[in-house]
Structures are given as structure tokens and as C-alpha cells.
Structure 1
Amino acid sequence: MTDTTQFATFMLVLLVFWPSYNLALAVFVWWRPKPGGPEVPSRHPLEYWIIIPALNEERVVANTVRSALALDDARTPVQVVVVDDGSDDRTPHVLAEIDDDRLHVLRRTPPEARKGKGEALNHAFAYIRDIAEEAGTVHRTIVGVIDGDGRGEPGMLSEISAYFARRGVGAVQCRVRIHNRTNLLAFLQDLEFSCVVDASQSLRDVLGTVGLGGNGQFVRLSTLMGLGEAPWSACLVEDLELGLRVHLTGQRIRYATHATITQQGLVDVRRLLRQRTRWGQGNLQCLGYVPKLVRAKHVSSFALLEFLQYLLTPWLVAPMTLLITALVGFGFYAQFAGHEIAGFTVDGSNALLALGIWLVALLLPGLIWGLVHRLRHGDEPLWRCLLVSLAYPLFMVLGSVSTLRALYRHFAGRNTWAKTERLAEKEVPVVTAKPVPKIA
């Protein structure tokens, strides 16, 4: 095989792999088994404590608290704990205006406050643990986390309770969507969460490797207590680390395909890059769990590969981005210049054909997920789904840039972050519960 043929083969593999992977993932999520069958009856109703960490959340926290309290019913009684982590805006006043004995507000002040989301969650955990121990309800208490801008879907706790009725389930992660998707950038994030991440988590549910997210995670109180005094750490993605620690205990995390949490999407590119850089850097901080996962006897080979895939992605994306960029530039130069470089040469007459192939490979993944969004959700017009599909490659470029920034910050030892500013919201009316599909 000549050098030119080897080069062409390598480039073809790169071109085919990414669209093929996305197509296979989309087909899997489309044909995954639908929930059905009776719920597993529970001897005692589960008691839910929902933690809402709040730092300067005056614009959104009222809607979040009201939607969390609305999840309460006879089978899923709810208490809400808001951790005001040293807010210096009107957050305390907004919370004081909500008159409900199911709402518990924990006020943290400096120097204890503002040490990260993990510290705020641990503060609420200790409060809930003490109450549950005194009442003797630890075994049936579930702790949920909903971010300051999150809204729980009415009736979602029924599906979550059905998962917790099964032995060996230590945590459940909900599906996430974006509620301000009138903005194109926010719609791209909805496409990511409600289609791509939803498909990936569904596959992980089969493999037993579901990861926890910062919004919409529900964990048994007994599971959290088994992890020590501070279940959540100072890691930049404390949710991912908590999920890994739960898996290492041998308990399973399930993915709720219908129970949905909605949140605000970021509408500013700079803030989005900062968020994704933090996520990438947090992944790097969790690499220390790889040896523990390798040694864990209950982790299967397939599960281990999946864990490694999403832990090592930040390390692989950056060099692969540079490599592919160099190869693309090299290939087009060879085509248009018609010169032989390092044994490679391409006939310039094929340049338009090659360009067409590259465009198909570049645009196909976005078109796949835009179609999935339209068919599965049906809440956006077709033209918007096509528009967001065409913008998806640029969104992926932003992801690559944030990964490179994460690598730089990691090696530079820069771990501090500014709070993401929320967008102002109108008061959202409380919606009554609706039936949630039962699970098998």
C-alpha cells in the first residue's frame, strides 16, 4: 500500500467514524425498549428532600422552589431545602416571601459560604441526615438536587420511586432539557441534552454506567451516608465524582427516560465556553478514579470501557482536534496545489468531490440529531430543527476549544470560577401533576 493510499484510508476512517457513531446512537435510542408494565409497589412511601443550592439566584429561585414544592403528593411527600450560600442580592428576600412549612432555608455566611457547590450540598446533607436519623426514616429518604434555575416536571417522582423500589439502585438521574430555547445557542444545548446526552445515558443505563448530573440527581440518603461526612467533594464537577463513588460501592445508577428537569441555557458564547471548560477540567480531576474502577471486581469490561471513554475524552479530544485540523489542512493543500508532500499527492480535479464528502461528514451528525429532536419531542418547527442542525458543527468546535482551555487550566493549577449569571424570568404558574409512563 502506497503512502498516498494509506493517507486516504486514514482520512476516510476519520470521516466515516463520527457520523456512523452518531447514527448508531440515534438508532439505539429510537428503538430502545419503551417503559411499560406495573410499578413495583413500595411498602412505605419514599420521602423526598430536594436540595436547591442558591448563590445570587434572585431572578430564578422563586420559580424553582415553587415547582419543587409542587412535586409533593401523597405517595411522594416533598421537603425542600434551599442553601443560601452567602447571597448578596435579593435571594434571601425572595425566599422569605414564600410561606410554606415544607421549605427550609439554610443561610451560610462567609467565611463558610462560597466554597463551591459541593460544600453547600454537604451542608444540606448534614441537616437532612440529622432529621431523618431522629425520625427513623433514613432507609426511605431520597435526596434530590435541583439547581437554582431548574424546574421539575409534574409527576416525575412516580417514575423515580419505581426505580428506587428495585434492590441495588442507589441513585437515579433525570433527563435534562432547556426551557429558554428560543435562543439558537440555548436550542443547541437542548439538542445536546435532550437528544445526544439522552441517547448516551440510555446506552449507559444498559451497560450500568449512568453518570450523575448536577441537575436532577436523586440519591438514597443511606447511600450518601455510606460515603462519609462529605458525599460531595470540591471537584469542579462534583456530580460526576459522586456518581463514580456510588458505582464503586457496587450500587447501580439508573437513568429516568421520562422524568425531566428543565433549566436555563446559556445564551452567551463566552459564558458557555467557561462552563464547558469547567466541565472538562472536572473530568480531568476525576481521572484518579480510573485505577479504582480497573480494580473493582463488579465493574464489567464493557462498563470499564464506557467509564474510560467519558473520563478520558478531554485528554483525547484536544490532540485529535489538532490532528484532524492538520490533516484537513494538509489534504486540501495537496488537492489544490497538486504537489507531493511527504509522499502524498492528490489530483486537484477531485477537490470538489472531496469537499462534498467532507461537508456531508461534517453536517450529517447535526442533521441526525435535529431529526431525532423533531420526531421525539415535536415542540419545535422543522425549520428550527434544520437550522440548529446546520449550526451543530460550530457548537462542536466550541466544545473542542473549551477542552483545550480545560487542559491549560488544569496544568496551570487554575481552579477558581465565577458564578454564572442567570437570566431574568417571569413567574411560572404551578402545573398540576400528570401521569408519568410506568417502567418495567
Structure 2
Amino acid sequence: MANILFFTALILIWVMLLYHMFLMQGGYRHYRTYERVIPEWEKNMIDLPTVSIFIPSHNEEVVMEQTLTAMSRLYYPKDKLDIIVINDNSSDRTGEIAQGFADRYPFIRVLETKPPNKGKGKSSALNEALANSTGEIICVYDADNTPEKKAVWYLVMGLINDPKAAAMVGKFRVINAAKTWLTRFINIETICFQWMAQGGRWRWFGVATIPGTNFAIRRSVIEELGGWDVKALAEDTELTIRVYNLGYHIRFFPKAITWEQEPETLGVWWKQRTRWAQGNQYVVLKFLRQFATLKRKRIIFDLFYFFFTYFLFFFGVILSNGLFIVNLFYDLQLSIGNVAIALWILAFLLFLGEVMITLSIEKNEMNRKNFFYIILMYFTYSQMWILLVIYSLYQETKRILFKQEVKWYKTERFSQKNQGGKKDE
């Protein structure tokens, strides 16, 4: 029995690894071809739509000035731009700093949340802004983001030229990548997620996932959907499923780039990623229960990806590791053998190769230092995710059983001074 469980776990792990290899190939192909449409698309950038940019903010004084400085420099007609800082129950100088920019720039304004949305989290803040704006296109940026000058331009360009797209998704890079060992790991993870997952899934299946930042969505679509789900910690993933169910698609267009800050300490990372994992588990369980009634079955690609990532893949890893450890102290008659060892070595080499190829897409990322970080990442950062998913699943199960209210964790920010990496156009 132990042998059957062990090899079942290996199969689950390898299915995910091979799927990621497939996505990597698609992501690389997308990288080689996605810019070809730009010259033709540029010709249609004449009668531009109005754009409302939502920046949900709660105690963001550390990053607010850098963010709004970048926003004030956006390449887009300012008479068609409405940048809204949603000051959600802040107790620091967030509102004061934002108001200072609003006094200088007529296209920037501050919106104070009111009950019942006040202090309820990101989704509620976004719904508040939706009710108090008129832009034909809605863009969302987190308060720690500094988008490149033409980021919004490219997002809008995609929607103008692709009428079947409800939303356009850009690329985000880590502005504090060189700050700590943790931010170096996150930088590698971020690049791989975008090119392996987003680029590959768009190339092969015409599917992409809305992230929490640097995306644009048509107002008509978000209004038809009734806004953001206030119960979803991963409001971006939840919104993605509902968009596809309306019959639209979401396009990944990495020409639109923003630079964002990532957690610099393990405690902040743990809380943020727990929210992500728990939120995605909520989305998977929510829509799997509704799958028979979903109108668009192509959603299965997104549900499959998240179900496999947050349930089957980690179940396989946990099961195989657990059986191996138990076998050290109690003879389970586990026939691990040379085949299993060879599969583990091949899995490591596959991980190494996939990440290295993906990093080669980004300028200056595939270097000797990152090569050693990739190896270290496999044995540390990747294993931390196992513990995190177990913990988040426990939290989500407890929330469901005891009908607990969803609690939003706002990621702690760090000073952006002297943080390199950002380049503008």
C-alpha cells in the first residue's frame, strides 16, 4: 500500500512538472511574438476612451509619494485620465500625501471609503471607487506600484484592438529584488510565474489570470458582474473566473510593465502568501461546486491549474515526503529504488532548466549569482511553500466550518529609497 501511495504521489508531482515545462515553451513563444502586433495596433490609438485608475490604499505613507509620482508621469491624455486614491480607513499620512498630489494634478483625486465598505479590505475599496467613477476603462494598481510611463497606454491599446477581451493583463517586476535573499527568490518566482504560467497559458489555451495589479478591465464588464466579491481574499482570481463565464477572454500583454515592492521579511511574506493561497483555495472550491452550472467550460483550464497547484500537487509532495520520513523510523517496506531516486534528480534538473530558460528572457537576470540562488531556492523557498499551503488550507477549512468572517491582511510596506531595478521608457 505504501508503495502505491508513494508512486501515486510521484505521478502527481511529475504531471505538474511536465505541465509547467509545456507552459514554459508556450511562454517563450509568446515572448518571441507578442510585440509584432504593436505597429498595427498603434494606428488605432486615435479616439481614446476615458480611464479611471483605482489605487486602493490603507496606511501606505511609505510608498504613496513614489507611486503617485509615477502615476503623474503616465503617457496618456490627462483630460481622459482619472486617478483615484481610495483612502481606506488609514491612520497614517496616506490621505495627506495623496491630497498633496491631488492639489497639484487635476487628474488625481482622493476618495475616502464610507460604510459599509470602510475598512473591509481591497474588494470593498474597489467597489467604492467603481460607484464613484465614470471611466470607460478601469485600471487597478496596488499602492506600492510604480508603473512605467506607457503601462496604461499599452493596456488600453490591447482592449481597443481586441474587442473580445474583457481585460488586459500586464507584467510586473520586483523593484526591491536585490534587497534581501527573500526578495531575490520572489523576483525569480515572479518572472517564472508570468512567463511560464501567464505567457504559456495564453499561448496554448488563450487563457490568462487577472493579477491584483497592473490590469485594465472594461467598465461595462465589471458592472455586469456586479463589482468585486468582498468575500474573496484572492479577488483577482475570483474575478477571472466570472469574466470567462460571461464569454470574454483575458489577454496577457507584457509590454505594459509595473514595478512593485515585495516582502523583505519572512513574517510579511508568510502573511501575504497565506492570504493568496487561502484566497485561491476559496475560489477553487467555490467554482468547482458551481462547475455544472458554468456556461463556459473553457474555465476548466484555470480551475484545473489552481486545483492542481493548491491541492493535488502539494498533496503529492506532502505524501511523498511524509512516507519517506516515516520510512526512516518505521519500515513501511517502501521500495523506493533507483527509479524513484532518478526521478527526484530529474525533477530537480527540470526545475533548474525551466527557471534558467525563463530568466534568460529578462535582461541581466540569468547570471551566476541567480544560478546559485535558483539551486538554493529549490531546497528552501520552494519547501516553505509546502508548509504555507498546509497552513492556509487549515485556515480556510476552519473559516468554512466555523463560518468566520473573511479578514483582509494588508501587506506591510518598506521604504523604497535606494532600491534599484526600475527602468522607465
TM-score greater than 0.5 by the shorter chain: yes
User: CA distance change for structure 1 residues 170 and 295 in 2, over 3 Å: closer, same or farther?
Assistant: same
Structure 1 position 86 matched with structure 2 position 82: no
2:234 aligned partner = 237
User: CA distance change for structure 1 residues 112 and 296 in 2, over 3 Å: closer, same or farther?
Assistant: closer
Structure 1 position 388 matched with structure 2 position 356: no
Secondary structure of the residue aligned to 2:128 is: helix
1:416 aligned partner = 407
2:348 aligned partner = 362
Number of equivalences: 407
Secondary structure of the residue aligned to 1:235 is: coil
Q: Which 10-residue stretch deviates more, 10-19 or 304-313?
A: 10-19
Secondary structure of the residue aligned to 2:297 is: coil
Q: Is the 8 A contact 1:49 1:143 kept in 2?
A: yes
User: CA distance change for structure 1 residues 307 and 184 in 2, over 3 Å: closer, same or farther?
Assistant: same
Q: Which of 14, 24, 27 in structure 1 is aligned with 2:25?
A: 27
Q: Is the 8 A contact 1:173 1:256 kept in 2?
A: yes
User: CA distance change for structure 1 residues 342 and 100 in 2, over 3 Å: closer, same or farther?
Assistant: closer
Shift of 1:4: 10
Q: Which of 125, 134, 141 in structure 2 is aligned with 1:146?
A: 141
Shift of 1:396: 1.7
User: CA distance change for structure 1 residues 156 and 418 in 2, over 3 Å: closer, same or farther?
Assistant: closer
Q: Which 10-residue stretch deviates more, 65-74 or 47-56?
A: 65-74
Cα distance in 1 for residues equivalent to 2:423 and 2:391: 44
Cα distance in 2 for residues equivalent to 1:379 and 1:120: 37
Structure 1 position 270 matched with structure 2 position 267: yes
Cα distance in 2 for residues equivalent to 1:13 and 1:318: 12
Cα distance in 1 for residues equivalent to 2:246 and 2:14: 38
Q: Which of 306, 311, 314 in structure 1 is aligned with 2:310?
A: 314
Q: Which 10-residue stretch deviates more, 16-25 or 110-119?
A: 16-25
Structure 1 unaligned regions, length at least 5 = 133-140, 435-440
Secondary structure of the residue aligned to 2:358 is: helix
- In the TM superposition, what whole-angstrom CA distance separates every residue of 1:75-95 from its partner, at most 9, and x where no partner exists? 994221001111111112212
Cα distance in 1 for residues equivalent to 2:10 and 2:291: 34
State how 1:259-298 maps to structure 2 within 5 Å. 259-286=256-283, 287-298=285-296
Secondary structure of the residue aligned to 2:137 is: strand
State how 1:9-408 maps to structure 2 within 5 Å. 13=11, 16-17=14-15, 19-32=17-30, 34-35=33-34, 36-37=36-37, 38-39=40-41, 41=44, 44-74=47-77, 77-98=80-101, 99-108=104-113, 112-129=117-134, 141-165=136-160, 166-182=162-178, 183-206=180-203, 207-228=205-226, 230-286=227-283, 287-300=285-298, 303-311=299-307, 313-329=309-325, 333=328, 341=331, 344-345=334-335, 358-362=344-348, 364-373=350-359, 375-380=360-365, 382-393=367-378, 394-408=380-394
- In the TM superposition, what whole-angstrom CA distance separates every residue of 1:131-173 from its partner, at most 9, and x where no partner exists? x5xxxxxxxx110110010111222233322321222211111
Cα distance in 2 for residues equivalent to 1:322 and 1:151: 38
Cα distance in 2 for residues equivalent to 1:400 and 1:295: 32
User: CA distance change for structure 1 residues 85 and 105 in 2, over 3 Å: closer, same or farther?
Assistant: same
Shift of 1:190: 1.7
Structure 2 unaligned regions, length at least 5 = none
User: CA distance change for structure 1 residues 101 and 428 in 2, over 3 Å: closer, same or farther?
Assistant: farther
Cα distance in 1 for residues equivalent to 2:90 and 2:2: 62
Counterpart of 2:196, as a letter, is A
Secondary structure of the residue aligned to 1:407 is: helix
Cα distance in 2 for residues equivalent to 1:6 and 1:404: 23
Q: Is the 8 A contact 1:177 1:194 kept in 2?
A: yes
Q: Which 10-residue stretch deviates more, 358-367 or 266-275?
A: 358-367
Secondary structure of the residue aligned to 1:224 is: helix
1:136 aligned partner = none
2:416 aligned partner = 425
User: CA distance change for structure 1 residues 224 and 346 in 2, over 3 Å: closer, same or farther?
Assistant: closer
User: CA distance change for structure 1 residues 9 and 236 in 2, over 3 Å: closer, same or farther?
Assistant: closer
User: CA distance change for structure 1 residues 270 and 112 in 2, over 3 Å: closer, same or farther?
Assistant: same
Given the two structures, how large is their TM-score scaled by the length of structure 1? 0.82
